[in-house]
Structure 1
């Protein structure tokens, strides 16, 4: 252990001692005792047959109500601002002293499993479509069914290309994964056509990125599509008929079957999260581990420049960008879309609108949510938010933007951060895509 790392650990421990033991004990006992609320707007109506109608609670008001009743304001008042390992604290003056301690603590709290096995990639099919060379890939992890992925690059491209790991969204649609942001034929599933129209202004944004001269890899995230939990593999719980999902004698691509599966998977995510906590990991850790494997595969390709790799995505893809971009320095440029706020916003107003992939127990004691993404400073970082995005409150989105700007400014690299706000609801429309693509071009095509 270097003398400098020891000094950083000592600083962290001294800061920890400032927090009262009673609060630490209380949080440790309650952090995992979560009520199984629906995780996304798409599932809340199915479970409760209603939707929230109250306006977001302003963070600076005298609040007596919250998502968890009168417990919320007291818990919020106990949260240290800045948290213990925030770079905004006066004890840190440069990123070289701060980052090892903060990164190590984040890694500990996330509980990411270590995957040691050598992963072999199989090319199932190669073809050209819409001016792109496309490969259908698969690889087997030491657990679960094989991962499926799509790789794209311009036809007839040569040499090592800049690359993007495209991270698909959540949207309460776990039957689908990579297909949400790609297009590999004129025959798309009608639910994918609808999804791309509502969230991406009709675009398969990964294709558009590849057309600009990038190698793009999009894989199914943990618990989505090829990595989803198949009902036929389940034991111990039943949640009503799931129609034909997973059966070989019926059509799992039928719209009714897909919608039935998505509803079931929305409830099952609570079970998955609790089981992962019981194993000493987290939903966050599992997703991050599998995203890192995809990054390994992309980096190792002969047609990819490993020093010019970026990642990005909307919503759940934005969340994955926060953790992968914050925790892995191989991501040289990152764009988080539609997933940026503060822990207090989740605590008081919006925890029910978000996946369990968001929450790593205890991490809020050490880093504010945007500061997870800020761990990548001084690497180029963009956040795109929508002013009318109902998944967050605007004041806390603005606060998160201020926090990231402060981190990059204090590090001496304000030009490496861009926070943009757009009118409209939860989306990654053409204007936002073009701004994101230009950001990638600025930092990865030099």
Structure 2
């Protein structure tokens, strides 16, 4: 067969039994897979035993955590006063050879010890973009971008905030990413490196959250029984998994992330830092959320969010509801689908957090 003849063949007609669509293949594989640790409990005792099994497996899938926690060696490297609050730039050790960059924000009027939110940004410029810092280092007056300075919003809602820079973003990028502007990340090479060690970026970032709780427990301003976690997009990923594996966290808000694996990161293009090898063999996203139960969980999503579809968010939330109901704790779940795209809202989420923290 010459090339000219080949170009005129309709492949669908010539080979009707052939399938070339990788998405359809993935969905067929999904349909054939029953997660072995999916939620099936009907009593609280069964649910607690299930949580133990799934949390142990999830930690293994993330690559495990260090068996020994290194000293935090915290350092306040800068402090600035703003109208209504103080911002400290914090460094502390998460692992040997790895430090965390964070901002600790404290309202001027704050009853000590009080509640504190750990705030995790999504993809973009990193943590500066949730504390009102412009690209030139100045302080902006009005929220910008899709994250709406939600760490600063926390202060106005009566919380202290620890805004943590995720690995691969902003202040924690590799030299190559720094050469390509403020919005460039080093997620891809860092997440790829994690895979080479049979680990993953989600696990690395969740460990930073765990050590952030350790750090906040050293702060006299913070009530250790009133620490929550929140994030949007990729920060929502870390909020879900961080809450699932850190029981000291008391409540959370997941913005622009909660969905099904099938209809979000399996079906649409997302950064490799969202992926956990083997997760669907054991659990869907609502099962991971079930490790939070019966602690309070609030989910928000934009009606027009193009990367975490509304229908999947609603379905996953309904499935999660089955888990909370086993604890008779359905009142500790909240959902808002607002008019908007992939942005932070907080309209109903903040009152929910104030109620539970």
TM range (shorter): 0.7 to 0.9
Query: Following the alignment from structure 1 to structure 2, what is the Cα–Cα distance between the partners of residues 347 and 332?
Result: 27
Partner of 1:310: 228
Query: Following the alignment from structure 2 to structure 1, what is the Cα–Cα distance between the partners of residues 172 and 118?
Result: 17
Is the deviation greater in 309-318 or in 90-99? 90-99
CA drift at 1:67: 6.5
Matched, 1:329 2:247: yes
Partner of 2:282: 366
Aligned with residue 181 of structure 2, among 228, 244, 258 = 258
CA drift at 1:208: 2.0
Q: Are residues 299 and 357 of structure 1, via their aligned partners in 2, closer, same or farther at CA, if it must alter by over 3 Å?
A: farther
Q: Are residues 344 and 327 of structure 1, via their aligned partners in 2, closer, same or farther at CA, if it must alter by over 3 Å?
A: same
Aligned with residue 168 of structure 2, among 200, 203, 223 = 223
Partner of 2:102: 149
Gaps of 5+ in 1: 1-63, 232-241, 247-256
Contact preservation (8 Å) 1:112, 1:282: no
Query: Following the alignment from structure 2 to structure 1, what is the Cα–Cα distance between the partners of residues 256 and 102?
Result: 23
Partner of 1:180: 129
Per-residue deviation, residues 257-297 of structure 1 (Å, max 9, x unmatched): 416x71xx4xx644333321221211111111112112211
Give the 5 Å matches for 1:216-295.
Answer: 216-231=161-176, 245=178, 257-258=180-181, 262=184, 265=185, 269-295=187-213
Matched, 1:442 2:348: no
Aligned with residue 96 of structure 1, among 48, 71, 74 = 48
Aligned with residue 92 of structure 2, among 139, 143, 157 = 139
Partner of 1:338: 256
| TM-score with structure 2 setting the length | 0.86
Per-residue deviation, residues 101-156 of structure 1 (Å, max 9, x unmatched): 11111111111331621111111222320200221211244455643211111115
Query: Following the alignment from structure 2 to structure 1, what is the Cα–Cα distance between the partners of residues 172 and 302?
Result: 30
CA drift at 1:417: 0.9
Partner of 1:116: 69
Matched, 1:79 2:33: yes
Query: Following the alignment from structure 2 to structure 1, what is the Cα–Cα distance between the partners of residues 201 and 212?
Result: 17
CA drift at 1:191: 11
Contact preservation (8 Å) 1:148, 1:220: yes
Per-residue deviation, residues 173-223 of structure 1 (Å, max 9, x unmatched): 3xx321111036xx66499969942314xx422112113321110121111
Is the deviation greater in 380-389 or in 136-145? 136-145
SS at match of 2:106: strand
Q: Are residues 303 and 90 of structure 1, via their aligned partners in 2, closer, same or farther at CA, if it must alter by over 3 Å?
A: closer
Higher relative contact order (CA 8 A, sep 6+): 1
Q: How many pairs were matched up?
A: 339
CA drift at 1:371: 1.8
Query: Following the alignment from structure 2 to structure 1, what is the Cα–Cα distance between the partners of residues 221 and 167?
Result: 26
Partner of 1:382: 298
Contact preservation (8 Å) 1:67, 1:349: no
Q: Are residues 295 and 93 of structure 1, via their aligned partners in 2, closer, same or farther at CA, if it must alter by over 3 Å?
A: closer
- CA RMSD, aligned part only? 2.8
Aligned with residue 423 of structure 1, among 330, 339, 350 = 339
Query: Following the alignment from structure 1 to structure 2, what is the Cα–Cα distance between the partners of residues 426 and 194?
Result: 22
Partner of 1:34: none
Contact preservation (8 Å) 2:188, 2:273: no
SS at match of 1:199: coil
Q: Are residues 191 and 87 of structure 1, via their aligned partners in 2, closer, same or farther at CA, if it must alter by over 3 Å?
A: farther
Gaps of 5+ in 2: 1-17
SS at match of 2:319: helix
| TM-score with structure 1 setting the length | 0.70
The structure with the greater share of residues assigned to strand is: 2
Query: Following the alignment from structure 1 to structure 2, what is the Cα–Cα distance between the partners of residues 412 and 68?
Result: 41
SS at match of 1:118: coil
Query: Following the alignment from structure 1 to structure 2, what is the Cα–Cα distance between the partners of residues 196 and 329?
Result: 32
Matched, 1:207 2:152: yes
The structure with the greater share of residues assigned to helix is: 1
CA drift at 1:159: 2.2
